[in-house]
Structure 1
């Protein structure tokens, strides 16, 4: 007879999750092996498995004494992720970065052949960049745009930009897709993108990706600086802060393989 100092209901919940964890570690397992591993009686283990089978979380391999998880847990998790508030998650991480840098931070995503700002935290300094939530900017001249495109195959990038006019916002703006693609290859390798006075004179920007549970870049977080406040020696520190934010947001969205 198993003993527990936990109330009976709590003890039962713990047993259920212990069974789920054990089943998750291998494709299928028998009642005897499972009961031994969890130090539960065979009768109790069997009773819990049958209840979980009835609820659809466990399946029995034919008439054999083998049990395995179904995809119902995945379905439950997927539904939960559908209700995750990206902006709420991002704001928490962006606030952390802002406390350190005091600079402007944006959350942006891809909308047709441009980026759109979903969220913003303003710089604490008087000299700051002008932007607003809902504003669109070009993909080819923004750090967020470069990060999002770097996650796409070359053919898809060319298709995305085929009807886009490469307006020379500054003398540093890319002139065409081929020139841009060379930089996107670098962005893909280093996992961050930069806008070095390409969208606005006197403004620099660094961005990192945010991934969903399918490891697809669905958004990007960026930090913007007037060039007079940008310290090249601290760039690696800025990138690391942004990567921490991007990783934490991605993890909350179900991404387990953030690349940095």
Structure 2
């Protein structure tokens, strides 16, 4: 294979960077990925000089990449001023495995739930101030939801977002809310921290959340969290449909099906095997704790 020369350094590019040459190449990002791959293959932490030598980079160029990775906790520096992979990668890897495994486990429950309520069912996880859609099952209806797997929406105006946020530790709730930029998508969108906190309190009392046409006029959703064995909300399920079908009168029955589904999913990932808490909380009642 021909050697690829860097236009910025005049030196050969590392194989991990060179092989990505194409219309979507971003040298700084490719270089950072190459650093991670190299540190992952090394049995010992590497010094700046060793990284420069192995990657054919000038010291200043390598140093910039390392500082970005270290600031993101993707790599860490030892006391001897050498670099190794950071624990952030372990956390991200665990999340990736958890999400893949979760989607596979949840899908059979999804199909059952969608057939029970004849509406669209979603699965999502919380990522900073947004919810990311991992899975979706649609009923055999003419009117269906136009959402896409992999898309995201703000946490404060989605049923799944509020369902997950409500059962976070108080300090996590405060941190997430502090980063939210409230934008009104419809006249019913929550527009302030105070309004969101009141909504989260209602979620904790009921055990489920409602998106009452808050992100799209004419669409109503009911969402509830999925808890892991530590009673932490790792994901959420929602039932979505036209407001003409998901009415105020039908929400309690829909929520009953949803909570039963979330209880069954939570049981498959270990919640059933945990010791019962002496404190009876709203989600404990809904999830049979």
What TM-score, normalized by structure 1, do the two folds share?
0.65
Q: 1:191 to 1:212 in 2, by over 3 A?
A: same
Contact 2:168 2:232 in 1 (8 A): no
Supply the distance in 1 between the matched residues of 2:129 and 2:211 (Cα, whole angstroms): 17
- Tell me whether 1:226 sits opposite 2:242 in the alignment: yes
Contact 2:208 2:224 in 1 (8 A): yes
Measured after TM superposition, the shift of residue 231 of structure 1 is: 3.4
Measured after TM superposition, the shift of residue 232 of structure 1 is: 2.8
1:158 to 156, 174, 177: 174
The equivalent residue for 1:207 is 223
Supply the distance in 2 between the matched residues of 1:155 and 1:244 (Cα, whole angstroms): 29
Contact 2:221 2:239 in 1 (8 A): yes
Measured after TM superposition, the shift of residue 88 of structure 1 is: 1.8
Q: Which has the larger radius of gyration?
A: 1
Structure 1, residues 153-199: CA drift from partner, whole Å, max 9, x if none? 34322211323211100000011111100110110121100000001
Measured after TM superposition, the shift of residue 84 of structure 1 is: 8.5
- Tell me whether 1:238 sits opposite 2:254 in the alignment: yes
Equivalent residue pairs, number: 180
- Tell me whether 1:196 sits opposite 2:212 in the alignment: yes
2:149 to 115, 133, 142: 133
Query: 5+ unaligned residues in a row in structure 1: which ranges?
Result: 1-80
Classify the secondary structure of the residue corresponding to 1:206: strand
RMSD: 1.9
- Tell me whether 1:184 sits opposite 2:196 in the alignment: no
Measured after TM superposition, the shift of residue 233 of structure 1 is: 2.5
